[in-house]
Amino acid sequence: MTVLELRQYTLHPGRRDELITLFEREFVEAQEELGARVVGTFRDVTDPDRFVWIRAFDDMASRHAALTGFYGGPVWMRHRDAANATMIHFDDVLLLEAVGDGFSATSRAAIGKGRRGPSRVLAVVWTGGGAEPDTATVERLLGVTPVLARTAPYVNDYPALPVRDEQAVVWFASYTWAGEAAAAQERLAAHPLGQEPGLEVLELEPTARSALR
């Protein structure tokens, strides 16, 4: 299994690139050395003050150890004031469990190795209270093979970082260029699934160091 966090931060106006620069310079290797894999880092295309990122852990025990080590360690202590100064809210977090191989090194459909340019990632987030959307239908509308994750059936054992208390399903889809993502969004919007109140589509632009592109 793989445990994932989908993290959405609301930032003070005009400070997103400041946080991204700090994050990519100081926080990627510092977390990965402790077992937290930074899968993707993104600018939200529709919101200039939102930073979105994904990190992965082998299991909940690895997550607890990595978070304890990082947030109690010297790198975060040295830079936390600068990072926190850019943020308004940092508690929009879904704790998920990947279905299948997730964002593993062998998941070529998910990780665009060496891919550069105006690529896009769509995160289709469903938190509706009814029946879960049919995955085959979502995949057909997206037009690519997504990585699927559902709310992890575990208690958040690192309460200093809260997570949303709701059931969610998320499909992560990667596109070579922005036009492909736009076409997928049009297909979703034209389908009854796109009208469901519990469905949100995040259009994400990978930052320079994002593995997921």
For the chain, what are the domain ranges? 3-206
Predicted local confidence at residue 101, as pLDDT? 81
Query: Quick one: three-class SS letters along the chain?
Result: CCEEEEEEEEECCCCHHHHHHHHHHHHHHHHHCCCCEEEEEEEECCCCCEEEEEEEECCHHHHHHHHHHHHCCHHHHHHHHHHHCCEEEEEEEEEEEEECCCCCCCCCCCCCCCCCCCCEEEEEEECCCCCCCCHHHHHHHHCCCCEEEEECCCCCCCCCCCCCCCCCEEEEEEECCHHHHHHHHHHHHHCHHHHCCCEEEEEEEECCCCCCC
Determine if the pTM surpasses 0.85: yes
CB of 126 closer than 8 Å to CB of 148: no
pLDDT of residue 165: 93
Predicted local distance difference test score (pLDDT) of residue 117: 57
Taking the domain 3-206, which CATH number applies?
A: 3.30.70.100
pLDDT in tens, the chain (213 residues): 699 999 999 999 999 999 999 999 999 999 999 999 999 999 999 999 999 999 999 999 999 999 999 999 999 999 999 999 999 999 999 999 999 888 874 343 444 444 555 799 999 999 987 889 999 999 999 999 999 999 999 999 999 999 999 999 999 999 999 999 999 999 999 999 999 889 999 999 999 999 999
Q: What is the pLDDT of residue 131?
A: 87
Which residues in 52-69 are b (16+ Cβ under 10 Å) and which e? bbbbbbeebebbebbbeb
At 110 the pLDDT is 43
Report the pLDDT value the prediction gives residue 102, as an integer from 0 to 100.
82
